[in-house]
Structure 1
């Protein structure tokens, strides 16, 4: 429509706005449509034609820079029912950081649902969202081309998969066909950027086995320091030593550890942290624990990983215990991680909290044992919030009511001082992630009776948890 037509429409509009008729101002073609009708009908017909012209004919053309995106992919799990969306939004709003938000999303996924995209969408760089959201992550990253998500990832169609889809596909292959996945990573990773290369090599942890050792050793020449260190840690998990460069740091770290003997009848070797003489030495010791691997440190003392852990004097130096736990989590074999966890749990009390550094490497059974012990002992319940990669929605009411946990929590809620009360509220939020739906409902009643306001934001995740009682099949009826 040209400018003259637009000007004519403007005169019609002005006539109607002023309360007059516009028939005489209409174009000749429009008059032919309306001339046989009554005067009122003429105006109505002109108004209909003008509205059609303004709403359709004069719709602005899309700019050339605008690109059409494909529809948002449908995920394999159903969306959360509408009645649960308000408590979901409340829980997300209360989440203080990305880790808390990730817990909300993981809890929802554990119950068989995904969020509505208007309530929450993963970012293109999201590394913590459950695998079910991989199509949305890829859609965020780029949805300009059609992907082939149902095809098996191969060397030929590598470029047709976006990063999140690749990671999910490779993770699945590492569980079922580890050698095939490793060959894909070995062939394609060198051409990627350092960050992408690191995320691909990290997938080798899944199903890690002796056959992966040659590839990991080849990474000793990688351009990225982080990748070289990661490869060295994974080799250490296999009980093998990395390619050079570690002797000097290991020897220096060994200087911070004292070797001794214990037992009168059955003599055994013990290992304990030497007393540091300055803050600088303390910092250097921490750096060395992070830099070195368990298998190399144990070999320096001529013992196995298991013997070193057995001989370690837990409780002598809390910081050294933390450093060692982190080292074992990063570079110890699965057996060494389980051994350290069992040792710390058996020690009870504060040493048991060190197991939290090992949780990403522990199996579900040991994770549950750890959480149950912390809840039962109730010595350091606030530490529950530090647990990482813990399964959502399994802690029952029997677990929560077994021991002193509820009594300690009541004291914290009733405290007038801010630190104890804030710690108690943090515990409430963590239980909102860990509890079953029935336990969450009972726990709400318990903490409200203890003095927590019913409208407290800390109850957000608990309320969402308690409300998710129906299965996805029931919600679709």
Structure 2
């Protein structure tokens, strides 16, 4: 991939300077990569500990990590024989790609070589199994219950739960944590002509109960909880009474994210996004499990609702450079930005700056250029630092990402 042209490096440096942390700086690099360029290493280098970067930077991460100098990054295919010839980040990238195209082959490699890696690397390898997860992976995942790392055992149990399999059989005790968790919910009926089952969090009496319920949500699996009530995952989620207890809603969403099946995740995301407003924001906790289309649908809904535009800054794992001008005008996003820019409320102005930075990452080049003109007309200084990523984006006009 070619280096970013010299004439655009000043715009790049301005965008990087304004980016608050490694996450936002990585967004700058991701946007540029989506337009077919890499950054000059004198302008930016990814931190060795930060993995959420475009794949093209994997060799840079390995170099930063100071991995064994005798090894060299290779272009050959990752195999059992070449495993040790790959730096860790390059190996992770190769395995992630393989899980998308040849998941069985990737699993066989992880099974053959993963056990000899340190616990931290083993757990990272098992996390990759979430890509292309299928029933064929179940025997290997079950074998991981004998792994010496508790984190690896936990990940294996969650992945098995997503497949509809029972998680870690545990220590053989008589206590049933799923039944204990279920006791925190009241089963009821709603509707007059068409009666339907509902599940509502009961009112808790003490912080100790709150803590215990949170622990149980974190350790139990959605499939087991739904089965306790004789329901499928999707039916249980459809009967859940959102809005009664915000903490319970959040714990449930997190449970779905780590252990829910694909159908349950999709059903819940679609339902909450369609409802809009505050419920739609809960879907932010499902981002790691959503496909590209659902991520875009959530962002469009946030922009349309204008319920909490600041939530855009929490969006993770979404593609760069696809948001069209119509997506911004379908709601009150632009009026809200205009009001913040023209007003005297400093916190609102700072929030608008952050939103503009996020939109600079999401927008197409044409949308970025149009948005700059719009907010400048509303009173923002043309040289405002918060427009840095939008200016860089607009300068990278070219083939965009199809919406």
Give the TM bin, normalised by the shorter chain: over 0.9
Looking at structure 2, the residues matched to 419 and 276 of structure 1 have their Cα atoms a distance apart, in angstroms, of 35
Structure 1 residue 145: Cα displacement: 2.5
Structure 1 segment 342-421 matched on structure 2, within 5 A = 342-421=270-349
Q: Does 1:157 align with 2:85?
A: no
Looking at structure 2, the residues matched to 249 and 452 of structure 1 have their Cα atoms a distance apart, in angstroms, of 55
Structure 1 segment 232-251 matched on structure 2, within 5 A = 232-245=157-170, 248-251=176-179
Looking at structure 2, the residues matched to 255 and 456 of structure 1 have their Cα atoms a distance apart, in angstroms, of 54
* TM-score normalized by the length of structure 2: 0.94
Structure 1 segment 430-441 matched on structure 2, within 5 A = 430-441=358-369
Structure 1 residue 437: Cα displacement: 0.7
Q: 1:211 aligns with which of 126, 133, 136?
A: 136
What are the ranges of 5 or more consecutive residues in structure 1 without an aligned counterpart? 1-76, 473-477
Aligned partner of 2:199 in structure 1 is: 271
Structure 1 residue 213: Cα displacement: 0.5
Deviations 1:45-81 (A, max 9, x none): xxxxxxxxxxxxxxxxxxxxxxxxxxxxxxxx11111
Structure 1 segment 180-219 matched on structure 2, within 5 A = 180-219=105-144
Looking at structure 1, the residues matched to 15 and 158 of structure 2 have their Cα atoms a distance apart, in angstroms, of 37
Looking at structure 1, the residues matched to 157 and 340 of structure 2 have their Cα atoms a distance apart, in angstroms, of 45
* TM-score normalized by the length of structure 1: 0.80
Q: Does 1:339 align with 2:267?
A: yes
Question: 3-state DSSP class of the match of 2:321?
Answer: coil
Aligned partner of 1:123 in structure 2 is: 47
Looking at structure 2, the residues matched to 438 and 116 of structure 1 have their Cα atoms a distance apart, in angstroms, of 25
RMSD: 1.8
Looking at structure 2, the residues matched to 409 and 84 of structure 1 have their Cα atoms a distance apart, in angstroms, of 27
- Give the structure, 1 or 2, with the largest relative contact order (CA under 8 Å, sep 6 or more): 2
Looking at structure 1, the residues matched to 337 and 142 of structure 2 have their Cα atoms a distance apart, in angstroms, of 50
Contact 2:153 2:168 in 1 (8 A): no
Contact 2:130 2:159 in 1 (8 A): yes
Q: Does 1:427 align with 2:355?
A: yes
Q: Runs (4+) of structure 1 moved beyond 6 Å?
A: none
Indicate how the Cα distance of structure 1 residues 251 and 245 shifts in structure 2: closer, same or farther if over 3 A, else same: farther
Looking at structure 1, the residues matched to 73 and 364 of structure 2 have their Cα atoms a distance apart, in angstroms, of 37
Structure 1 residue 114: Cα displacement: 0.6
Query: Bigger radius of gyration, 1 or 2?
Result: 1
Contact 1:112 1:471 in 2 (8 A): no
Aligned partner of 1:64 in structure 2 is: none
Question: 3-state DSSP class of the match of 1:235?
Answer: helix
Looking at structure 2, the residues matched to 146 and 354 of structure 1 have their Cα atoms a distance apart, in angstroms, of 44
Looking at structure 1, the residues matched to 358 and 96 of structure 2 have their Cα atoms a distance apart, in angstroms, of 28
Structure 1 residue 470: Cα displacement: 4.2
Structure 1 residue 325: Cα displacement: 1.3
Q: Does 1:315 align with 2:239?
A: no
Looking at structure 2, the residues matched to 153 and 119 of structure 1 have their Cα atoms a distance apart, in angstroms, of 31
Aligned partner of 1:169 in structure 2 is: 94
Deviations 1:275-302 (A, max 9, x none): 1222332233223222222111111222
Aligned partner of 1:257 in structure 2 is: 185
Aligned partner of 2:8 in structure 1 is: 84
Aligned partner of 1:12 in structure 2 is: none
What are the ranges of 5 or more consecutive residues in structure 2 without an aligned counterpart? none
Contact 1:295 1:304 in 2 (8 A): yes
Contact 2:141 2:156 in 1 (8 A): yes
The alignment covers a number of residue pairs equal to 396
Structure 1 residue 113: Cα displacement: 0.8
Looking at structure 1, the residues matched to 362 and 121 of structure 2 have their Cα atoms a distance apart, in angstroms, of 32
Structure 1 residue 265: Cα displacement: 3.0
Contact 2:71 2:86 in 1 (8 A): no
Q: Does 1:230 align with 2:155?
A: yes
